[in-house]
């Protein structure tokens, strides 16, 4: 009951927060544990090697599929398709419970060489290989995307694998599977935290992260406010999709700022740079370097001339439009007259408007 209670609580949380991938992972864990009970409970003839082979294979496949699913919501078409797949697997479990003869047929396949248990674990070579391959893919995705969900899937997979290793040892598998479910619940909190503190469009920390960072600043720092020049006109000319491309482009350039700068999306087309421990004079060379990099790096607009349907005969290569974007920057540092970060930020914002009224594409300090 421990695992089912934890799993049910996780399902409610993932449904409430509309995390389809976590919900499907929990459903997969619940179904897999039901497999274990179906195969090994109440005097079933199927041995633990066969049980671990079937459950381990299903977990590996399901977690691999979930890892590459887009987060479209529980009731999306992809979510419904995945639920249908899991429902089919659950139906197989119920069929195996209702017809014991089928379990004996399943048990016969364990006598093939590669499926036999090893000396140190009841897991077969095939089961362990599939689980390791899935874990490796999840590890690579975690390192590349730094996604809390990918990391949660990886740790939950390893916990479930440990549960399969300890099948029949004082119900240790229930503890390990409950741990896997708790990990997925913690993933909901981590993912929600990331969505609150990080801007989804630019992948930069957002306004709330900025507020917290400003509370930890010392006595010496510089704050710069950045605004994309003529962004409204650019948006009206090319559309919001291209405008989003421009925001991502500028964010990627700002993220390369040197001088230990911390970059945040303030809102709209505005960004904020923090230079902890640096005076205005020390920060200005890095700020100017950022402005010049944006000015001198052409922004390539993708997809603006792409047809809705791919033509049967390619007569000419699709053209990519190149535009030059510029930014205006206002900067200010803490002083005896500006003792709080909010006051410094307010002055930096005033300096930003001075740069824009002075012709744009410049830094005012």
> So what's the pLDDT on residue 289?
92
Exposed/middle/buried for 72, CB within 10 Å: 0-12, 13-18, 19+? middle
pLDDT band at 224 (very low <50, low <70, confident <90, very high): very high
Query: Does residue 311 register a pLDDT over 50?
Result: no
Query: Does residue 81 register a pLDDT over 80?
Result: no
Q: Could you tell me the CA-to-CA distances from 165 to 30, 120, 157 in Å, in that order?
A: 17, 9, 12
Q: Round to whole Å and give the CA distance between 232 and 243.
A: 9
Mean local confidence (pLDDT), 184-209: 84
Beta bridge partners of 205: 198
pLDDT in tens, 246-292: 999 999 999 988 988 999 998 889 999 999 999 999 999 999 999 99
CB distance 8 to 34 below 8 Å = no
Mean local confidence (pLDDT), 218-238: 89
User: Which residue would you say has higher pLDDT here, 101 or 232?
Assistant: 232
> So what's the pLDDT on residue 280?
92
pLDDT in tens, 125-168: 777 888 889 999 999 998 887 788 889 999 999 998 888 888 76
User: Which residue would you say has higher pLDDT here, 208 or 53?
Assistant: 208
Q: Where are the domains of the chain?
A: 2-197, 207-308+316-364
Query: Does residue 328 register a pLDDT over 90?
Result: yes
CB distance 2 to 178 below 8 Å = yes
Taking only Cα atoms into account, the Rg of the chain, rounded to an integer number of angstroms, comes to 28
CATH topology of domain 207-308+316-364: Alpha-Beta Plaits (3.30.70)
Given the structure tokens 């902890």, which residue do they identify? 276
HSE at residue 228, side-chain half, CA atoms within 13 A, is 27
pLDDT band at 116 (very low <50, low <70, confident <90, very high): low
Mean local confidence (pLDDT), 96-100: 63
Query: Does residue 293 register a pLDDT over 80?
Result: yes
Measured in whole angstroms, the distance separating CA 40 from the mean position of its chain's CA atoms is 36
């Amino acid at each position: 009951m421990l695992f089912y209670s934890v799993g049910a609580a996780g399902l409610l949380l993932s449904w409430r927060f509309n995390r389809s991938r976590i919900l499907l992972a929990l459903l997969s864990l619940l179904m897999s544990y039901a497999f274990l009970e179906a195969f090994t409970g109440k005097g079933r003839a199927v041995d633990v090697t066969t049980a671990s082979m079937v459950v381990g294979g299903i977990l590996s496949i399901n977690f691999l599929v979930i890892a590459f699913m887009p987060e479209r919501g529980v009731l999306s078409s992809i979510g419904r398709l995945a639920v249908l797949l899991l429902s089919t697997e659950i139906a197989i479990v119920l069929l195996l419970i209702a017809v014991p003869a089928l379990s004996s047929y399943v048990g016969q396949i364990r006598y093939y060489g590669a499926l036999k248990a090893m000396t140190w674990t009841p897991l077969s070579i095939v089961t362990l290989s599939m689980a390791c391959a899935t874990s490796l893919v999840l590890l690579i995705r975690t390192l590349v995307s730094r996604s809390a969900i990918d990391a949660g899937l990886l740790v939950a997979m390893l916990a479930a694998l440990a549960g399969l290793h300890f099948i029949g040892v004082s119900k240790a598998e229930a503890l390990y599977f409950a741990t896997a479910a708790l990990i997925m619940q913690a993933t909901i909190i981590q993912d929600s935290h990331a969505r609150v503190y990080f801007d989804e469009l630019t992948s930069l920390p957002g306004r709330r992260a900025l507020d917290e960072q400003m509370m930890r600043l010392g006595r010496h720092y510089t704050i710069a406010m950045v605004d994309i020049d003529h962004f409204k006109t650019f948006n009206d000319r090319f559309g919001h999709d291209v405008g989003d491309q421009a925001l991502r482009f500028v964010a990627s350039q700002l993220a390369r700022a040197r001088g230990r700068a911390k970059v945040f999306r303030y809102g709209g087309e505005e960004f904020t740079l923090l230079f902890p421990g640096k005076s205005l004079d020390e920060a200005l060379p890095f700020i100017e370097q950022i402005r010049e990099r944006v000015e001198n790096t052409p922004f390539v607009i993708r997809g603006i001339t792409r047809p809705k349907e791919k033509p049967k005969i390619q007569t000419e290569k699709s053209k990519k439009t190149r535009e030059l974007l510029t930014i205006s920057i206002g900067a200010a540092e803490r002083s005896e007259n500006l003792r709080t970060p909010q006051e410094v930020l307010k002055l930096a914002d005033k300096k930003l408007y001075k740069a824009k009224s002075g012709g744009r594409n410049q830094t005012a300090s």
